[in-house]
A and B are shown apart, each in its own frame.
Chain A
Amino acid sequence: DLPAPYSDHCILDDGTNLYDPKNADAVPWYNVDLDKPPKERWVQIATDYKDHIHELIETLKGLILPSHPDALSLIDDFFGEMNLKIAQPYQDEIASIAEATDIPVGEIVMYNIFYEIFTV
């Protein structure tokens, strides 16, 4: 068992209810239209979240760079070239997000293949 206060705790034991359907309103809804060209599908979301996407990428780079000084150029060059090999419609969708956020395409590729990179 983990030590208190980190131990398991089923809140049903206390009769606690944390569910409030109104809290779901904090997460906005968007439409992605698959009938539109891939380059147009993500522009709205990418534009609205440009600052947060920048923050995420910068945080990631900050975590990688101290131990690997060449990581930035590796990301931009290696993953940038990789986008040309990625199947459609993902290649165009990723390129359009890079364009809308003014972030190098390699960094958006890295973000989008996060799962494969970090699954060991």
Chain B
Amino acid sequence: CTSVIAVDDRGKVWHARNLDFGLFLGWDPKVHDWMISAVLRKMVVNINWYRDGKILYKSNNFAGFVGIYNGMKQGEFTVTANERFVEKDQGGRTGIMKWLSGEMADAKWMTWLTRETMENCNSYEEAKEHLSNTEMLSPVYYILSGTKPDQACIITRSWEKADSVTEITSRKDPWFILQTNYDPDVEPLYLDDRQTPGDNCMRKLGRRNVGFQGIYNVLSSRTNLNKLTTYTVLIQTDTGAFETHLQSCPGDCWPF
């Protein structure tokens, strides 16, 4: 996955992500695609979540899936979740076993914690606190943005709490965050380096060209776009604009 938060030269915050899903879940040699990714592309829906007759927040989901990978509360905050790989005994499957044994009975499932944050938190700061400190069953990166230029961060999660919170203002380029599936202070595996090309493409885009078109083109560039990419979602929290574009990478394209 690749999540992007970028602040344009007027201070407006934009948030987007590529969802890559289905690694090692069946390669179809006839069409050169991952089987699960191909099926999931047909199941993408946008959802307006209503409470008290009003839209509370927006998300996109796979049909039949009740949790949330990406959500936007207009005028308040947006969150996207990227998978985090950790050592074997600290992953999601071990988390499930601990939950079943009662050791982590109150811990939250990742996509349901995202949903609860959308439903119960009313500001960027509240969301940041909730996503950082609620016990959960699997590691993840939460990429969170608000509506002000300094409201953007990567929350690097393990079971109990955040291992770190990386603010946009601490970045080498303090106007954008591009997060793939590695801790912010760790160099990506050379075979899976989507960070370096993504960062370079963002710098080519430049702050003055930040917007749906510019970020979409960055996320449509290889290898941030790859055979696992199922969609790109583009979000502007102030206006509530929320666009999901189906994606694929036909032909010669890196498999992940």
Contact = CB atoms under 8 A, between A and B. Distances in A.
Contact of A116 (B96, B213, B220): B96
Nearest to A21: B243
B119 interface: yes
A59 B83 contact: no
Contacts of B220: 11, 18-19
Given A7-B222, A108-B64, A111-B65, A119 B84 contact: yes
Contacts of A18: 216-217, 220
Contacts of A34: 49-51, 56, 119
Contacts of B67: 90, 112, 115
Contacts of B92: 115-120
Given A49-B63, A49-B64, A19 B47 contact: no
A116 B93 contact: yes
B253 interface: yes
Interface in B238-256: 243-246, 252-254
Contacts of A17: 213, 217
B101 to A, nearest CB: 11
A56 interface: yes
Contact of B197 (A8, A21, A27, A59): A8
A23 B246 contact: yes
Interface in A1-22: 2, 5-13, 16-19, 21
A119 B100 contact: no
B138 A12 contact: no
Interface string A39-82: 00010011011001101100110110000000000000000001
Given A8-B222, A13-B204, A108-B64, A28 B138 contact: no
Contacts of A2: 191, 223, 254
Contacts of B204: 10, 12-13
Nearest to A58: B39
Nearest to B191: A2
A116 B255 CA distance: 22
A85 B100 CA distance: 8
Residue from B42, B63, B200 having most chain A Cβ neighbours under 10 A: B63
12 contacts: A23-B246, A27-B244, A27-B245, A34-B51, A52-B43, A63-B25, A63-B35, A108-B64, A112-B64, A116-B137, A116-B138, A119-B85
Q: What 4 A-B pairs come out closest when comparing CB atoms? A: A116-B92, A49-B63, A8-B197, A119-B92
Interface of B: 25-26, 35-36, 39-40, 42-53, 56, 60, 63-67, 83-85, 88, 91-93, 95-96, 100, 109-112, 119, 137-140, 191, 196-197, 200-201, 204-205, 212-214, 216-218, 220-223, 231, 243-246, 252-254
